Amino acid sequence: MKTSRQEHSATFSEELDLHYLELLKEKAPYERCRRELLKLEKRWLQKAKTPAQRLAVQRIIASTILTEAYGDKMPWKEFGRWLRRLRQLGFRDLGMRVHVTCLYVQSLHLFPRQAHEAWEMLEDAERRVRRLRRENPLREEHIEAIAHARKVTRVPRPTSTGTSNRAR
């Protein structure tokens, strides 16, 4: 039997999946996806009964929009906005942290001034992954995702350890 929290999550997840698949089928532009996802977030925030439910909705919507921003090769102003939002909200789990970090490193060719921060974030995620027990099936999956991001990125890890050049 599902608890009310699980029912809320499943219902929200189902609606998000259906809505998002519809947008993908229509090949909706980024702006429309963002707008529609924010409308969905607003509706579900009103339905949320607890702060934990509100936070879960905000994290999932922000992560989905960040993924869209990555897919549409959005500039730092837009991509960075959603990355900052996710970092403020906190990552739901290690899988979300790895996903977001890999997108960040792989998109550095669009905003190379962020390389220092992105690579530090990737190295932090990798340390966290390596602390998982070897038997944990997610450990290998996350290590592979990080290795793939390292392999395909077009911007290498900066060698200097001085202050980072952050785009504002």
Residue-range definition of the domain harbouring residue 47? 1-92
Number of domains in the chain: 2
- The tokens for 31 are 């702006």
pLDDT over threshold 70, residue 21 = yes
What count of other Cβ atoms lies within 10 Å of the Cβ of residue 145?
A: 18
What count of other Cβ atoms lies within 10 Å of the Cβ of residue 142?
A: 24
Answer yes or no: is 23 within a domain: yes
**40-74 pLDDT, tens per residue?**
999 999 999 999 999 999 999 999 999 999 999 99
Are 127 and 74 within one domain?
Answer: no
Are 69 and 134 within one domain?
Answer: no
Q: Which residue has the tokens 């909705």?
A: 57
Answer yes or no: is 29 within a domain: yes
Name which residue leads in pLDDT, 159 or 4.
Answer: 159
Answer yes or no: is 61 within a domain: yes
Are 46 and 120 within one domain?
Answer: no
Domain end, chosen from 60, 92, 124, is at 92
pLDDT for res 11: 84
What count of other Cβ atoms lies within 10 Å of the Cβ of residue 72?
A: 14
Domain end, chosen from 92, 108, 133, is at 92
Are 80 and 114 within one domain?
Answer: no
74 sits in the region (left: phi over 0; alpha: psi -120 to 50; else beta) called: beta
Alpha helices (H) along 72-133 = 76-89, 94-106, 115-130
Using CB atoms within 10 Å of the CB of residue 55, give its burial: 0 to 12 exposed, 13 to 18 middle, 19+ buried. Answer: middle
Are 150 and 102 within one domain?
Answer: yes
